C-alpha cells in the first residue's frame, strides 16, 4: 500500500512540475533570434526557476500548454495616499498592464507594485531596477496566505491536543504522532541547551519548530510554495530569537560581553566589539542557514527537471527524473533537519543568555 502511494505521489509530483515547466516555457516573451534552441530552453528554464522562487500576488497551481495560469486570485492591498484594494485577477494586473486606482496609476513588475503614469513608464537605474515610487504593499500574497493557513492549522491542532489531555493522559488521534515530537523538543533541545529554566521558553521553541517544519513540508509540494526560502521570512524568525535572547539575558551574560571576568584589561577592550558583533552574527547565521538550505533544494530540483528539456534525449528522460526523486527524498530529510537546527540553535543562544555563572567555582 505504501509503495503504491509513493508511486502515485511521485507521478503526480513529476506531472505537475513538467506541465508547469512546459506551460511557463510557452508563456515567456518571443524568443531572441540570435539564441540557439538549447540556449532558448536554458533561458526559459532559468526564468521559470526564478518565478518559482518568488512570492506572488496570485496562487498558481499549474500552467497549461497555452500558458494560462490555473489557480485563484488573492487580495491586492497597498497604501499610497489612502488604501487601495482589489483582487489580483483584475484585468491586466498580473500581466504587468497599467492599473488605475483612486486616480493614480500602478504597475506590477517582478511581483513588486510601482507607481507610474498613464502610459506605465518605469524609469531604470541602469542596472535593471525601476526607480519609481513603491507604495506600501500589504497584499495577501501566496506566502502570506500559506503562513496564515499554517498558523490556523497549528492553533486548531495544538488546541485539540491540549483538550485531549484533559480527558485522558493516554494520547489519541493526532496527539499520538505529535507527542513524540513535543517530547523530543523538550528532552533533546530545550533541556540540554537551556537547563532548568527551559519551561519559560518551551512555548516559543515548540512554535518555531512546528511552524518551520510545516512550512518546509508544504514547500515540497509542486505548487511553488517557498515560504522558508524567502529571506524576509527567515529574517523575522531570526529576529524573534534575537529579541527573546536579548530581553531574557541576565547580568552575567552582559558582563561577559562588556567586561569579561578573568581577562586582562587591554584584552577586554579588544574583545568588547567582537562580543557585541557576535550578538548580531548569531541571528544572522540562523537567517542565512534556513534560507540558503531551502532555496538551494528548490533550485536543484527545478534545475534537474529543466535539464530534461535542455538535453532532450532518452538518457536525460530516464536519469534526471530518477535524480529528482533522490534529491526530493533528501529534501524531506532536510525539511525536518532545518526545523531541528533552527530550534536547537535558538535554544543554545537562549541558554547562553540565561545561564548562571559561578565565577568563584570557575576560578
Question: Is 67 a member of any domain?
Answer: no
Instruction: Give the number of other CB atoms < 10 A from CB of residue 232.
Output: 12
Question: Is 16 a member of any domain?
Answer: no
- Same structural domain for residues 323 and 237? yes
Q: Which residues of 45-76 are buried (b: 16+ CB within 10 A; e: fewer)?
A: beebbebbbbbbbbbbebbeeeeebebeebeb
- Same structural domain for residues 309 and 338? yes
- Same structural domain for residues 106 and 235? no
Q: What is the pTM of this model?
A: 0.80
- Same structural domain for residues 110 and 159? no
| Cβ pair 212, 224 in contact under 8 A | no
- Same structural domain for residues 220 and 159? yes
Question: Is 45 a member of any domain?
Answer: no
- Domain end (from 89, 122, 139): 139
- Same structural domain for residues 352 and 212? yes
Q: How many domains is the chain partitioned into structurally?
A: 2
- Domain end (from 139, 165, 195): 139
Lowest pLDDT segment from 23-32, 113-122, 327-336? 23-32
- The yes-or-no verdict on residue 188 having pLDDT over 70 is yes
- Same structural domain for residues 196 and 244? yes
- Same structural domain for residues 193 and 318? yes
Question: Is 254 a member of any domain?
Answer: yes
Q: How many Cα neighbours within 13 Å face the side chain of 116? A: 20
| Cβ pair 82, 138 in contact under 8 A | no
Question: Is 296 a member of any domain?
Answer: yes
The CA distance from 214 to 174, in Å, is 15
pLDDT for 13-31, tens place per residue? Answer: 343 333 333 333 333 334 4
**Quick one: pLDDT at residue 237?**
94
Question: Is 34 a member of any domain?
Answer: no
- Same structural domain for residues 135 and 147? no
- Same structural domain for residues 153 and 126? no
- Same structural domain for residues 200 and 119? no
What percent of the chain shows pLDDT beyond 70? Answer: 82
pLDDT for 68-81, tens place per residue? Answer: 677 888 999 999 98
Question: Is 126 a member of any domain?
Answer: yes
The CA distance from 240 to 100, in Å, is 38
Burial class (CB in 10 A: 0-12, 13-18, 19+), 100: exposed
- Same structural domain for residues 243 and 262? yes
| Cβ pair 24, 47 in contact under 8 A | yes
pLDDT for 84-95, tens place per residue? Answer: 999 988 888 888
- Domain end (from 122, 139, 156): 139
- Domain span at residue 321 reads 143-362
Lowest pLDDT segment from 32-41, 246-255, 278-287? 32-41
- The yes-or-no verdict on residue 239 having pLDDT over 90 is yes
- The yes-or-no verdict on residue 316 having pLDDT over 80 is no
Amino acid at each position: 500500500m505504501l509503495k503504491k502511494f509513493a508511486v502515485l505521489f511521485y507521478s503526480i509530483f513529476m506531472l505537475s512540475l513538467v506541465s508547469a515547466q512546459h506551460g511557463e516555457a510557452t508563456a515567456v516573451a518571443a524568443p531572441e533570434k540570435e539564441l540557439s534552441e538549447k540556449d532558448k530552453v536554458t533561458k526559459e528554464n532559468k526564468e521559470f526557476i526564478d518565478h518559482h522562487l518568488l512570492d506572488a500576488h496570485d496562487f498558481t497551481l499549474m500552467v497549461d500548454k497555452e500558458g494560462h495560469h490555473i489557480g485563484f486570485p488573492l487580495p491586492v492591498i497597498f497604501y499610497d495616499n489612502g488604501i487601495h484594494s482589489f483582487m489580483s485577477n483584475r484585468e491586466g494586473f498580473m500581466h504587468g498592464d497599467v492599473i488605475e486606482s483612486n486616480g493614480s496609476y500602478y504597475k506590477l513588475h517582478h511581483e513588486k507594485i510601482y507607481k507610474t503614469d498613464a502610459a506605465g513608464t518605469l524609469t531604470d537605474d541602469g542596472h535593471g531596477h525601476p526607480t519609481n515610487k513603491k507604495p506600501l504593499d500589504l497584499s495577501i500574497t501566496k506566502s502570506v496566505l500559506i503562513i496564515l493557513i499554517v498558523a490556523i492549522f497549528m492553533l486548531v491542532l495544538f488546541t485539540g491536543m491540549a483538550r485531549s489531555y484533559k480527558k485522558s493522559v493516554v494520547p489519541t488521534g493526532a496527539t499520538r504522532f505529535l507527542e513524540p515530537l513535543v517530547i523530543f523538543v523538550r528532552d533533546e533541545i530545550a533541556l540540554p541547551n537551556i537547563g532548568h529554566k527551559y519551561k519559560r521558553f518551551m512555548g516559543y521553541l515548540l512554535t518555531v519548530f512546528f511552524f518551520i517544519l510545516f512550512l518546509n513540508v508544504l514547500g515540497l509540494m509542486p505548487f511553488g510554495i517557498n515560504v522558508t526560502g524567502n529571506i524576509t521570512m527567515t529574517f523575522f524568525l531570526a529576529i524573534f530569537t534575537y529579541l527573546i535572547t536579548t530581553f531574557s539575558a541576565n547580568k552575567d551574560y552582559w558582563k561577559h560581553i562588556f567586561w569579561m571576568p578573568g581577562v586582562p584589561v587591554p584584552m577586554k577592550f579588544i574583545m568588547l566589539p567582537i562580543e557585541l558583533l557576535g550578538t548580531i552574527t548569531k541571528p544572522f547565521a540562523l537567517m542565512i542557514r534556513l534560507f540558503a538550505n531551502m532555496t538551494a533544494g528548490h533550485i536543484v530540483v527545478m534545475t534537474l527537471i529543466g535539464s530534461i528539456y535542455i538535453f532532450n534525449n532518452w538518457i536525460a528522460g530516464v536519469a534526471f527524473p530518477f535524480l529528482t526523486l533522490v534529491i526530493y527524498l533528501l529534501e524531506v530529510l532536510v525539511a525536518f533537519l532545518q526545523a531541528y537546527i533552527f530550534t536547537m540553535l535558538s535554544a543554545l543562544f537562549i541558554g547562553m543568555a540565561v545561564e548562571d555563572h559561578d565565577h568563584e567555582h570557575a576560578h
